[in-house]
A and B are shown apart, each in its own frame.
Chain A
Amino acid sequence: MDCVVTGGNVKVLAKAIHSLSRIGDELYLEPQEDGLALRSVNSSRSAYACFLFAPLFFSRYSTPSGHAFRCKMAIKSVQAVFRSLASLEKTVEKCHIELDGQKNRLTFALHCKYGLLKTHNLSFQDSESLQAVFDKDSCANTLRVQPRVLVDTVVHFPLSLEEVTVSLSDERVWFRNHVEDEAGNSQSKAMLTEMCLASDEFDHFAVQAQNSITFCLKELRGLLVFAESTGLPISMYFDEPGSPVVLSVTDSVLEVNFVLATLSDDPSLRKNNTKRNKAYQGKKQNQAASPPPPDDFLNDDMDSYLIAMDTSIAPGTSAAGPPSPPSANHTYSHQPAVACHRTRPHSEDEEEEEEQETDDTERPPNKKFRSLFFGSVFATASQMTNQTVTSQEVLASDSEDDTQTESP
Chain B
Amino acid sequence: MKFRAKIIDIGCLNHLTRVVTTISKLTKTCVLRLTADNLFFVLSGKVANGGVSMWCELSQVNFFDEYQMEGVSSEANEICLEVTAENLSRALKTVQNSKVVKVKLTKKHCPCLTVAAELPTLSSVSRVVTHDVPVDVIPRRLWHEFKEPSMPDFDVSIYLPPLKTMKNVVDRMKNLSNFLVIEANLNGEMNLKIETDLVSVTTHFRDLGNPPWGGEGSQDGGRSQGRDPDSMAHARVDIRKLQQFLTGQQVNPSKAMCNIVHKRIVHLILLHEDASLQYFIPAVA
* B125 lies within 8 A of A200 (CB): yes
Q: With the chains together, A192 CA to B90 CA distance in Å?
A: 12
Residues of B contacting A153 with CB < 8 Å?
A: 127
Complex interface bits, A153-167 against B, C-beta within 8 A gives 1, otherwise 0: 101101000000000
The answer to whether A188 touches B109 (Cβ under 8 A) is yes
Residue in A153, A158, A194 with the greatest tally of chain B CB atoms within 10 Å: A194
* Chain B: minimal CB distance from A89 (Å): 30
Given contacts A192-B131, A196-B129, contact A158 B90 (CB under 8 A): yes
Q: Is B215 an interface residue (CB 8 A)?
A: no
Give the distance to chain A from B172, nearest Cβ to Cβ, in Å. 30
Contact of B94 among A156, A192, A198 (CB under 8 A): A156
Chain A residues within an 8 Å CB radius of B150 = none
Instruction: Determine the distance from Cα of A197 to Cα of B130 in the docked complex, in whole angstroms.
Output: 12
A156 to B87 Cα, complex, angstroms? 12
A191 to B123, Cβ gap below 8 A? no
Say whether, besides A186-B109, A188-B109, A194 and B134 are in contact (CB < 8 Å). Answer: no
Query: Least Cβ distance of B122 to chain A in Å?
Result: 8
Q: Are A200 and B130 in contact (CB under 8 A)?
A: no
- Tally of contacts, chain A with chain B, CB under 8 A: 58
Q: Is the CB of B129 within 8 A of A191?
A: no
Check B132 for interface membership: any CB of A closer than 8 A: yes
Nearest B residue to A186 via CB reads B109
Question: A198, B90: Cβ atoms under 8 Å?
Answer: no
Q: Which of B91, B110, B128, B133 contacts A187 (CB 8 A)?
A: B110
- The answer to whether B127 touches A197 (Cβ under 8 A) is yes
**Please, how many angstroms separate the alpha-carbon atoms of A194 and B91 in the complex?**
11
Interchain CB contact under 8 A, B109 and A201: no
A189 at the binding interface (Cβ < 8 Å): yes
Q: Which residues of A lie under 8 Å from residue B128 when comparing CB positions? A: 195-196
The answer to whether B109 and A187 touch across the interface, beta carbons within 8 angstroms, is yes
Query: Counting CB contacts under 8 A, is B28 at the interface?
Result: no
Contact B108 A194 (CB under 8 A): no
Q: A155-B94, A156-B94, A188-B109 are in contact. Are A195 and B127 (CB under 8 A)?
A: yes
Q: Mark B112-129, 1 if CB is under 8 A from A, else 0.
A: 100000010111110111
- Shortest beta-carbon distance, B51 to chain A, in Å? 26
B129 touches A194 (CB 8 A): yes
Minimum Cβ distance to chain A for residue B14 (Å): 17
Residues from chain A with Cβ under 8 Å of B132 in the complex: 191-194
In this complex, what residue of A is CB-closest to B109? A186
What is the size category of the interface that chain B forms with chain A?
20 to 34
Q: A5-35 vs B: 1/0 string, CB under 8 Å?
A: 0000000000000000000000000000000
Docked Cα-Cα span, A155 to B109, in Å, equals: 24
Q: Which residues of A contact B110 (CB under 8 A)?
A: 186-189
The answer for the CA separation of A198 and B112 in the assembled complex, in Å, is 26
B134 touches A200 (CB 8 A): no
Is the beta-carbon distance between A191 and B109 smaller than 8 angstroms?
no
Assess whether A288 is interfacial by the CB under 8 Å rule: no
A183 within 8 A of B: no
Given A158-B90, A200-B123, A201-B123, do A193 and B129 touch, yes or no (CB 8 Å)? yes
Report yes or no: B134 in contact with A191, Cβ–Cβ below 8 A. Answer: yes
Question: Are B133 and A191 in contact, with the CB atoms below 8 A?
Answer: yes
Q: Does A190 contact B (CB under 8 A)?
A: yes
CB contact list, B58-115 vs A, under 8 A:
84, 87, 90-91, 94, 108-110, 112
Q: Which secondary structure dominates chain A's binding surface?
A: mixed
**A174 nearest in chain B by CB position:** B128
Chain B residues contacting A186 (CB-CB under 8 Å) are: 109-110
Q: Name A191's contact: one of B91, B121, B124, B125 (CB within 8 Å).
A: B91
In this complex, the member of A188, A191, A193 whose beta carbon has the largest number of chain B beta carbons within 10 angstroms is A191
Residues of A within 8 A of B131 (CB): 156, 191-194
**Could you tell me the distance between the alpha carbons of A400 and B139 in the complex, rounded to whole angstroms?**
45
* Selected contact of B125 from candidates A152, A193, A194, A198, CB within 8 Å: A198
Which residues of B have CB within 8 Å of A196?
A: 127-129
- Against A, the Cβ 8 Å flags (1 = close, 0 = not) of B137-170 are 0000000000000000000000000000000000
Residue ID in chain A nearest B121 by CB atoms: A201
Q: Digit string of A182-221 for contact with B (CB within 8 Å is 1, else 0)? A: 0000111111111111101100000000000000000000
| Chain B residues within an 8 Å CB radius of A156 | 94, 129, 131
* Closest Cβ–Cβ distance, residue A55 to chain B (whole Å): 37
> How far is A193 from B128 in the complex, measured between Cα atoms in Å?
11
Q: In this complex, what residue of A is CB-closest to B134? A: A189
A194 to B119, CA, bound (A): 13
Decide: A198 and B123 in contact? CB cutoff 8 A. Answer: yes
List of B residues within 8 angstroms of A193 by Cβ = 91, 129-132
Residues of A within 8 A of B94 (CB): 155-156
A186 to B134, CA, bound (A): 12
- Residues in chain A near residue B108, CB distance under 8 A: 192
Which B residues are in CB contact (< 8 Å) with A188? 109-110
Partner of B90, one of A152, A190, A191: A191
Q: Identify which of residues 60-115 in chain A touch chain B, using a CB-to-CB cut-off of 8 Å.
A: none
Contact surface of A with B, Cβ cutoff 8 Å? 152-153, 155-156, 158, 186-198, 200-201
On B, residues with C-beta under 8 Å from A are 84, 87, 90-91, 94, 108-110, 112, 119, 121-125, 127-134
Cβ contacts A to B, 30 pairs, < 8 Å: A152-B119, A153-B127, A155-B94, A156-B94, A158-B90, A186-B110, A187-B110, A188-B109, A188-B110, A189-B110, A189-B134, A191-B131, A191-B132, A192-B109, A192-B131, A193-B91, A193-B129, A193-B130, A194-B131, A195-B127, A196-B127, A196-B129, A197-B127, A198-B121, A198-B125, A200-B124, A200-B125, A201-B121, A201-B122, A201-B127
Given contacts A156-B129, A198-B124, 20 further A-B contacts (CB under 8 A): A155-B94, A156-B94, A186-B109, A186-B110, A187-B109, A187-B110, A188-B109, A189-B134, A191-B91, A191-B133, A192-B112, A192-B132, A193-B132, A194-B129, A194-B131, A195-B129, A196-B127, A196-B128, A198-B121, A198-B123
